[in-house]
Structure 1
Amino acid sequence: GTWKTADCKDNEGHPSCTPCKEGQEYTEEKNYLDYCRRCDFCDEEHGLEVEKNCTRTQNTKCRCKANFFCNGSSCDLCEPCITCEHGIIEKCTPTSNTKCKGKESGSNLPWLLCLLVIPIILAIIWVLILLTLKHRTQLQSYGTTQSTSTTKLTLCILFSDVDLSKYITSIAELMTLNQVKEFVRKNGMKEPKMDEIKNNHPQDTAEQKVQLLRNWYQHHGKKGAYDALIKSLPKDIAEKVQDMVQKDITSNDENADFKSENERQSMA
C-alpha cells in the first residue's frame, strides 16, 4: 500500500515510503516502485461492474453484470447472455452462456420448403452456367488484361511491407481489448509498457487499443509487420483487415492510372 519516495540512507535501513491514494492507487506486495499502480476501472459498457472496491493494498475486482458472462480467466469484456426461443437447459451464469433447447420437429413444412427451393436453386445455377459459356470468349480476352493488374495487386499485398500507420485506428475498432492485449503480448510487448498505456487512459478502452497497436508497430517497424499481424489475428478479423488494405491499395492504383491517362491525353 506504499511507494518509495527516497532510498535508505543507512546499512540495513529502510527506504522512505508514502501511502498510495485510497480508492485511486495501490500496491499489493512489498516493492521498490517509485509510484503506485492506478486502480482498474470496471467498464459498464463492456458488461462489467465492481465486485470489490480498490484499496491501497488491492486492485479493483470486477465481475460481469446481471445477464452478462465471461468464460475466460481474465475478463476485460463480458458478453450478453443469449435469449432462448424454445426453452432453457441451463441458465446464464457469470462464467457461462445460456444453454438453449432446440426447436422440436413436428412438421413436414421444412421438407416441403426444401422440395420447392432446391429446383429453383438448380435452375439458377443452370442459367449461370449457360451465361458463363456464352461469354467465355469475351471474358478470356478481358481476363488476360485484368490478370496482370490483379497479379500485381496480389503480390503487392502478400509480399510488400504495407505501411500500417493509417490503418491502426480502423484495425483497433475491429478487435476487442483482450485480443489486442494478447496480440501485442505475443509479439514482444512487456507488461510494464502495457500497464503504462492502461494507466494513461484508465477509462478509455478504445484509446488503449489504439496506443497498444501503435506502440507495437513503432517498435516492430514496417518490415514484416503486416505479415505478423495477419498471421496472429483470428480468421474473420484478418480477412476484414486484408479487405480494407486491398480496397485502399486498389483505389490508389486506379487513381494513379486515371491521372496517368489524363496526362498522356494532355500531351497528345
Structure 2
Amino acid sequence: MAAGYTKVPVRFIVFILFFYVLLQPCSSQSDVKVSASPVREIIRNRRQVCVDGTYDHEGRTCCLCAAGQYLKKDCSSSQDDRICDQCESGTYNSYPNSFKSCRPCTSCSHPNANLVVAEPCTIARDTKCRCKEGHYCTSNTGSCQICHPCTVCSTSIKEPCTATNNTVCNEPEGNKTTAIVVSVIVGLIVVVAAAVAVLLWRRKKAAQQPQAPSETTANGNPADVEMQRLIDIQPLLPQIAEQLAWKDVEHLATRSGIPGPAIQSCKLDHPGDSQEQTLQLLRRWVECQGKRAADNLVQNLRESRQIAKAEKVEEILYNKNPTA
C-alpha cells in the first residue's frame, strides 16, 4: 500500500510540469502583444497630433486650426495646446490656418451687379455667386463681380446667351445687300476717277508739246512733216518693238511721265508675252509723244547710250520714210 501510494503523486507532478512547459511560450507571446499595443498607440497618437499641419510661433511649432476655425491663442507647452474657436455666422476660413479672425463672406447683393447666390456661405467656404437670368459675365477667373444684360437680337439668334458669353445674332439680310451695293459703287467711283485723271494728264501733256513749223512736201503741197511721221510710224511699231526690250520702253515711258499703274497694265494685259507687252507700251508712249514720236524715240535711245538700237530704229524709219 505504501509503495503504490508514493507512485501516484510523482506521475501527477510530471504531468503538471509537462503542461506548464508546453503552455509557457504562448503565455510569453500573449504578454508581448499586450505590452506592445500601448507603445504603438502612443506613436500613432504622436504622429496625429497636428492633422492639419503646423506653424511656427516664437521658436515653437504649433498645430494649425482646422478649416472653419480661427486661432484664439498660440501654443505654449505642447504643439496641440493652442486654442481654436469656430468662425461666427457670416464669416469663414476655407483651409487650415493660424489667422486671428475669420474672413467675411462675400455678398452677392451689390447694386447693379446683377448677381444671385449660387451656393451660400459656410464657416469653411465662401459664398458662390452667379449671374441673374438673362445676364452674362466674361471673367476668366470664374468669379464675376458684375454681370451684363444679354443682347436681345432683332433678327434670329446664332448663339444663345450663356453665363459666360453674350448672345450672337445673325446679320439682317438687308445689311448684306447694302454692303454689296456700297462696295460696287465705291469701285465704280475709283475706276471713273482714275480714267478722268489719265485723260486730264494726257491733255496736259499734249498741250505742253511745242508746235512744229509748217513745211512743204516733195510734191509742193504744204504739210506738217512731223504729223506725217506720226502717221507713218504706227505700222512700223511691231518691227521697232522687236529691236527693243521691255526695260528700254519702260525707261522711255517713265521718263515721259506715264503713270506706273498705266505701265504695269500693259504687262498685266499680256502675261507671259514680253514682246506683246513691249509693243503695247510702245504704242502708248507714241500716243503720248504726239507729232515728234519718231524723233524723240531715236533721241532718247541715243541719250541712253543705246546707239546700236537707235541705228536699227533709224534704219526702219528711213527705209519706210525716205523723205523724212
The two structures have a TM-score, normalised by structure 1, of 0.39
Structure 1 or 2, whichever has the larger Rg, is 2
The two structures have a TM-score, normalised by structure 2, of 0.33
